[in-house]
Amino acid sequence: MQNKIQENNGVFLVNNFPETYDFMVAKYKDCKEGRITPLDLTEEEQKEINTLSILENLGYPMTETGTYFYKNVIIRAMDELQQIKTEQDYVDLMSTMANNYSQFYFDIARNEYDIGLTTFHSCIHMVNQHKNNHQANEKLQKEIGLTDFVVDYKGEALLIANYMITRESKKENPQVKKMIRKSYGELV
């Protein structure tokens, strides 16, 4: 029991200091306050800013590390979705993302943040459970498809990633949307 409490306190500590884990905390704040412009950012930083903006509009707290971990999950999902050619590729991606201990998450948690996978997923789960749905942009939720499906944060990451790809390219990848519908089913 004592070890479990200490572990949970560790997750809470990690989750309360996002600036320790991601330099985009300061850049996002600077962008919001107009101190830097998109022209001051690299293409990758702009993608991260756009992802953080979407997460904030979905009610995710910008003061918690889990939001920034989640940003990287979404960006990695975007990269993977852009490589999909067949339905099997999509099934493989979903299977990989469903496994908390897959290489997909290991690369982000261990290689980018140097933290354990359990802490990584715990932080994301905490922000997902505590996001402020009252502040969420309902129009954006509908555009992303979050009102059409019942998904966990992993499925939500795929929907957000697909939305961002669609928005960037101005054309929807109907194959991915079809596979998402098939996997999660539409809400009635």
* pLDDT number for residue 9: 67
* pLDDT number for residue 142: 93
* pLDDT number for residue 179: 61
First-to-last alpha carbon distance for the chain, in angstroms, is 43
* pLDDT number for residue 13: 81
Per-residue pLDDT of the chain (188 residues; tens, 9 = 90+): 344 433 466 788 888 888 888 989 999 999 999 999 888 999 999 999 999 999 999 999 999 999 999 999 999 999 999 999 999 999 999 999 999 999 999 999 999 999 999 999 999 999 999 898 778 899 999 999 998 877 899 999 999 999 999 988 754 455 565 566 565 554 42
> What one-character-per-residue DSSP string does 19-79 give?
HHH-THHHHHHHHHTTSS-GGGS-HHHHHHHHHHHHHHHTT--TTSHHHHHHHHHHHHHHH
DSSP class of 135: S
* pLDDT number for residue 176: 60
Q: How far apart are CA 103 and CA 25, in angstroms?
A: 25
Please identify which residue in the block is written with the tokens 């830097």. Answer: 36
* pLDDT number for residue 11: 85
Please check whether residue 145 is in contact with residue 161, taking contact to mean a CB–CB distance below 8 angstroms.
Answer: no
